Structure 1
């Protein structure tokens, strides 16, 4: 973290702020003294949503609304925001209280995803929408694939599989919530009839997504031998 904050902001977002106060706040977790990133995260989430919706509409002019929604939801998740935050080195700049730092909260998707949105909020406040738009399009550029089909969310894919195969509607249940408040872990179980799996995540949504992914893979693997048998 030898690079001065002003230089890091310019390298990461393409603009050099006259005042770094909002960016410091965007990097500050509630466990640390001073104002936290929460209000800027609220703002940055909306900025990201607007910029991404605009970008997808331009990039995929022939996609119907449902396809655009799938693309949008896949690109603005906490996990993706956290990955972008890691790509610019935000992980090393997050300001945490001693206990949260000892617990490694700066490495988790929950905190890093929030920080990324807060940084976008700070960028919007200091440099405007054009600067935020340019930063998002550069930082998310390799995540938009113009030639690929719109990604299907694992929960939607599992539900569609169950309907197509005349199986019960997937049922989700929270099994356990553990860990400290700043770095929680959720265990979720999902079942389709007698088939079920459990999975963990840094949020309930993340755990449900992981569980849906795992169960869908299991169900599809079970279906392969049956299809081969019918061909004979």
Structure 2
């Protein structure tokens, strides 16, 4: 890559980040985005940063911003729920789970998919749901630290972009059962057997804090139809079923 190509690539990346931040999800003012350093860091996965460091190139990853953003998001959502709902603590505690990792990833896919191509990953690292959630939290951390943005902007984002997801969230919603019920009509017609739906673990990792991450795919007629990530087997399977249902609700079907 020559110097002109590098400059063009850098400009394109800057324009894409600005477009993301000023879009309908984050709703930041372009005139107040003078320094994108933190936002670039928020989009940088540790695998990418490690590769750069191995080459002697300084590179900050998103992990510290994700740590901060997770706490800021939970505080902001807790305040939003407290101010919005008269329900007792138990129900508020259930609602706040709408912004847990496996659910945040679905929010990114549905409401801000522009984030996805901007995430910088190391060679061989797949884009898992947990990375999508971590990146959104890191971006929230960057917004919080940006002197021109801060907590008030995050609160606005929650009220305009996340409110419906939070208020309508039902932890007891069983995507596995919903998928099974949807498939049952094909079983009754004799086109499908119940055993043709299978959940397969494709990955299991443990981090330095001994937190487990499971990745499952749901297979229908031996074809992968949805993938989900969670910190236990149940949530990973539920996320996989939710992904499959999203495809079906969008008009796709594994039975054509």
TM-score calculated relative to the size of structure 1: 0.63
1:28 pairs, out of 41, 44, 47, with 44
In the alignment, structure 1 residue 99 sits paired with structure 2 residue 127: no
1:74-109: CA deviations, max 9, x gaps? x11112211232322111110011211xxxx22x21
Question: 2:234 is matched with which residue?
Answer: 208
Residue of structure 2 aligned with 1:81, choices 66, 85, 104 = 104
Q: State yes or no: 1:9 paired with 2:29.
A: no
- 1: distance between equivalents of 2:17 and 2:235? 36
**After superposition, where does 1:130-149 map in structure 2 within 5 Å?**
130-145=152-167
Cα distance in 1 for residues equivalent to 2:230 and 2:166: 24
Q: For the aligned residues, what is the CA RMSD?
A: 3.1
Structure 2: which 5+ runs fail to align?
1-11, 50-58, 175-199, 208-212, 217-226, 240-256
Compared with structure 1, are the counterparts of its residues 98 and 124 closer, same or farther at alpha carbon in structure 2 (3 Å cutoff)?
same
CA contact (8 A) 2:66 2:134 kept: yes
Cα distance in structure 2, aligned partners of 1:209 and 1:78: 10
Q: What number of residue pairs does the alignment pair up? A: 171
2:94·2:171 contact (CA, 8 Å) conserved in 1?
yes
Match of 1:120 in 2: 140
> Structure 1 residue 176: deviation in Å?
7.1
Paired with 2:237 and 2:105, the residues of 1 have a C-alpha distance of: 20
Q: Is the 1:85–1:116 Cα contact (8 Å) retained in structure 2?
A: yes
TM-superposed deviation, 1:59: 1.4
TM-score, reference length from structure 2: 0.58
After superposition, the Cα gap between the structure-2 partners of 1:122 and 1:179, relative to the gap in structure 1 and judged at 3 Å, is same
Q: Write out per-residue CA displacement over residues 41-77 of structure 1, whole angstroms, 9 at most, x where no aligned residue.
A: 010001111110011111112x11011111112x111
Partner Cα distance (1:41, 1:114) in 2? 6
The question of whether the paired residues in 2 share the 8 Å contact of 1:85 and 1:115 is answered with no
